[in-house]
Structure 1
């Protein structure tokens, strides 16, 4: 590994300079959240099709992120590469769609080549450039100016501040639409079922509960010793006491065992009905797992019965929540 020999170079100072330059660029964006921004939002809000985002190079990378943010926050959208659009992918675009075109200069020739075709298809165009008088700016139905004083790159060549500003403007559009639609956390979870939020908001108790032979359960005629053996076998720190029809009579937990030791109860002679807690906390299988978790935390318990009225259907433990990613 080659060591860095320029001892006078200060990486930290340069990094902070970049952040300062990009902050200054973002401070300029307020002036562009204007009537044109509002018109663009109204167009997208009323769109009956999808939002198609296009951009070349770094603008394309930003465009992919912008389309992904739209799609995950209630505005159907996808990215189309301008080069691929010229070779067949334009077939994915319909008249009901709105096209967002991104280019800092507003003169990207790959995009300019598409504009006559998009106009012929009677497409509505929203263009994001740094120059309202550019070819793309003049062709747009709505032009949103996204201009920064300078790039963070000292050469003024690598897109840095400009791409950051466009990404922030895309976020502003997406969040404005999100709020206008009344988009909820549950809506967000539906498009993120594999994420942590999706698991928290979509997973139900029935998805993770123990059922059948996994349920720690003894009859009301069982001895305390039988109940302790069942708790040990099932390893959930509790057992449910039921009648012959699996109707819940009560519950006995590790905590109850500690209490009866203090009471001097004879483990060998006691019946489970003498020491159980009658009834017990229970939830319905349709309850969201996160709500069951909140209940368990409020009650300071680690396991809860799952039931339809008094009919035992399963049990769910705090560890099940952990494994499912609900916590």
Structure 2
């Protein structure tokens, strides 16, 4: 990750400044405020602001004016009940704003989560830095033969090196041309909003991304999953660590019921019941398609 001396000084100043407040404060999140967490080769995630904590979730669920006489164990039981039964509104009472620096192709995948407020670095107004995502060799893989949107076996030896060389050469050449088109040395220079079209999808962009906890959990359930693309999963895993420190009870329930749990269709429930009665059930008499049965077996054997 590349941070300038000015950026490091700004972060140090932000972390050294504090103010008193009457609102709920989460000590775990306070430790993360403004601190950049490195992701990939030049990326970062840092918390700019947040609202609420575990108690904000239970307070909203009870619609009370304070903590009352409830114990922590009661709060944990309530949060786990809310998560277990898919109640979303109480989790929407907590919000967080992230500053994220990420490759453009990751951003285009990320932006599909439309339940957030986003403000991205403007390449119409400013000039993008010469920073590109180049994968580590262990993340260079061939196309999967069973999943059209996944990776298969790792590339090795000369083939892996050839791909890495092409990625670096193409990125640098496109940025050289970007600078040449922008240059006003002896020419008018192309407008920034036009020159940017020549840049590759692995160049880094930045944005502020603000969302509530319910929608953040939805993002993390999909993007921190082992089947998610590695590059966006790397960001999601860092964010999981931050959320765990922010709302530990809610995050524990999320890990149990969303990340570690499994959903069953009505047909899947019936198959489990039949198996428990001692029946041998195959795909042919399960009522499931081949794809459904394959996914069912992956979970339940």
Task: Please state which band the TM-score falls in when normalised by the shorter chain.
Answer: under 0.3
TM-score norm. by structure 2 comes to 0.21
TM-score norm. by structure 1 comes to 0.20
Higher relative contact order (CA 8 A, sep 6+): 2
